[in-house]
Amino acid sequence: MKTKLILFLFFTFNTFYSFGDFMRNYPYKIKQPSGSIIACFISGDEFYHWLHDKDNYTIIQNTLNGYYYYALLQNDNLIPSSYVVGATNPSNTNLSAGVNISAKKMIEIRNSFPIFQSDYQMPKFSTLKSTQPVTNVPNVLMNNLVVFIRFHGDPEFTVPIQHYNLIYNNETLNQNSVFNYFLENSYGNFSIKTYFYPNPINGIVCSYEDINDRCLYIKQSITNPSGYTPANESQRRTDLLERALNFVKTQVPSSIGFDSDKNGRIDNITFLVQANDADVVDWADILWPHASTMGERNVRINGLLANNYNLMRARQTVPASDIGNSIQATICHELCHTIGFPDLYHYNYIGDPVGLYDNMCSGNSNLPNHTSTYMKYKYGKWIAEIPEIRESGTYTLNPIKVSYNNCYKIQTNNPDEFIVLEYRQKQSTYIYENNLYGSGLVIYKINKTCHGNAGANPLDPVNPILDEVYTYRPFDINNTLSYLSGDFSKSYFSNESGRTIFSKCTNPYPFLSNNQLFDYFYITDISNAGETISFNIKFCNISNLIINSQNIKNLNYAKNNIETSGSLVIANGNNIVMQAGNSIKLLPGFKVEKGATFYASTFDFNCSNPSLKSLKSNTFETESNVNSEQTVYKQNANTNHQLNISPNPTNQWIQIVSDNEQIIQKLEIYSIDGKLLYKIADQNSSLFN
């Protein structure tokens, strides 16, 4: 078995509720110099984040007096207004809600972090591809070393080591742990085994105590004069981390392999920083969870350079009822970064490209979500290939928890973009799928020229940066920008949901990154979300189709018209379908033999159904009424006779004769547009004129 080790150093902080790395509207408390405590919210990630109130008025601290004020935007910088938070109702002022720096500046701040510089090297290793049932023995095991650290003067941990052992190493089926998450997410190809240092004392966590007090790692202000400044922030943080590494390096056994890719570096180090369990959160930028490097520091453990790291958190105390149940999706999110997965949320925080369908975009603090099948395929190498659908027909998918037959792709007319379909099943027994909006077919747009969604800025009129992964979901089609958010509660398709069609006529519809409509296919008849899910796909990239004995297929579709040509016999045992947007003409020479099935109908390829026109306005109606299919001609394969229809075509009269004088008990004739023209029953005749 291959082994790999990541080094984790844990400082403890209060656990927090986040969406992967990115937090939105996380409850936060600020303390004014007067002593008043004010509840507010914080949003953002490790690279850029901001305070705001419940009405989204931005909050900023005045470093001259330590008070928090509502913010103004000046020259692309946030500055304090004259309105003190807690003493003013901002809605009664001239302040604007939601003020923030530009997306361009957010990206510049992010790019200044060392993780985006040349000294950050991602570990490189490959995992074997497996389609076998998942066992608790992964093909590749990465070892993970955890070291607990606290600040000077802070109390020692009182947490049993078993708490963290359950969080990281629990191998019990359907129990939430880092080991089980990666084992299931990778289909048994990969997982992580964790070791804890310093050694626990009497079963309780033991930690390294730093030489400095906590206040040195809080931003400098009039109430915290010894805090850090922009000039010394990086050095103060790196000094802290270097001391922690030097403390633990003699305790790490050389027998455990740290360098899986043989580049002379420890694959990854993670620090988790301690804070009080108090309600008032007294930390800020320097200790926000993030990924970075040690820069030019030459810290080595067993001869290997310690460089790449993640900074995380744990709690100093944990309630007894919480033992084993407080794993954070953030841990798995950061570990996915370590093995090459990019972020799928926007670094400018505009919109939500993927939703809960991938832990690299959004998640739950305790339960990480599966990564999507495309991400497993491209970045995890846990899926060998995504099969391409090229022919019309009926297809079936397993839920993504199953390691095989769990995804399809459809190539678009843009060689750089394709569509991926997967089945997401929300079940309480699927712990890493239990956060989903519901069970059904989920459809993504993939742009293979992109790397993740982090830097996406589709609103830039000069140089738009696009998403690699986008989940189709209903949006207000009268608002060009609403596709960035949309209605994720209706993003899954199933018969139970009433959303059984995906086409240019529905909302959502298949658009590409340049907003071009891709209308070469229709997905219809999406089934119930059971053990599997099925759907029909119709490729309709041909406007008018002439069918003869050489080119006929089982499924024949045209956007406008279908017409037969020459001698065309549907032989015994064959099952032939024709669907067109306008008309189907069966010319002389067409014949259906006994024992064959022929089915012809109109389908609204051109969105002319009145029920679809409502989608032109602001509505998210379910699509159960979208299918305008009407039977034009159907020959049942179970009958042991054939029908002769003449003349064909006709515009006046028609004769229908059953061979062998078989009795026709009921007859209905429809026009091409589905209008019932003739109906007769209980006539018990073999001939109708």
DSSP string, 195-243: EEESPPBTTB---EE-SS-GGGGSB-BTTBTTSB-TTTHHHHHHHHHHH
Give the torsion through C-alpha atoms of 54, 55, 56, 61, to 10 deg.
-70
Mean pLDDT of 24-37: 85
Q: According to the model, what pLDDT value does residue 14 have?
A: 33
Angle of CA points 251, 254, 260, to nearest 5°:
120
Ramachandran angles phi, psi of 489, nearest 5°: -65, -15
Of 453-457, 460-464, 543-547, 563-567, the poorest mean pLDDT is in 460-464
Radius of gyration of the chain, Cα coordinates, nearest whole angstrom: 31
Over residues 416-441, the mean pLDDT reads 94
Bridge partners, residue 407, by sequence: 422
Antiparallel, parallel or unpaired: β 533-539 and 393-397? antiparallel
- Is pLDDT of 18 > 70? no
Of residues 194, 283, 281, the one with CA closest to residue 240: 283
Q: Which residues touch 87 (CB under 8 Å, ≥6 apart)?
A: none
Mean pLDDT, range 276-304, rounded to an integer: 72
In the block, tokens 């009497």 appear at 202
Sequence-ordered alpha helix ranges (H) in 587-629: 610-613
486 in Cβ contact with 474 (< 8 Å): yes
Q: Write down the pLDDT at residue 261.
A: 74
What are the tokens at 28? 């936060």
Amino acid 224: pLDDT: 83
* Cα–Cα dist 88/635, whole Å: 76
* Residue positions counted in the chain: 689
In this structure, what token pair is assigned to residue 308?
Answer: 């790449």
DSSP 546: E
Alpha-carbon distances of 255 from 1, 59, 251, 268, 575, rounded to whole Å: 15, 51, 12, 17, 65
* Mean pLDDT on 7-14: 40
Say what the pLDDT of residue 682 is. Answer: 61
With bands split at pLDDT 50, 70 and 90, how would you rate the model's confidence at 655? low
Strands (E), 75-224: 77-84, 140-150, 190-197, 208-209
Q: Which residues contact 231 (CB under 8 A, 6 or more apart)?
A: none
pLDDT at residue number 305? 92
Burial class (CB within 10 angstroms; exposed 0-12, middle 13-18, buried 19+) of 237:
buried
Contacts of 689 (CB under 8 A, 6+ apart): 653, 654, 655
- Cβ atoms of 148 and 158 closer than 8 Å: no
pLDDT at 663: 61
**Which element (helix H / strand E) includes 69?**
strand 68-74
pLDDT winner (highest mean) among 105-114, 367-376, 578-587: 367-376
> Is the confidence at residue 347, as pLDDT, over 80?
no
Question: What is the pLDDT, as a whole number, of residue 193?
Answer: 87
Q: Which of 500, 454, 548 is nearest to 113 (CA)?
A: 454
**What does the alpha-carbon distance between residue 257 and residue 583 come to, in Å, rounded to a whole number?**
69
| Average pLDDT, rounded, for the chain | 79
pTM, two decimals, is 0.76
Phi, psi (rounded to 5 degrees) for 7: -100, 125
Determine the Cα angle at 215 with ends 210 and 219, to 5°: 125
Q: What are phi and psi of 79, to 5 degrees?
A: -130, 155
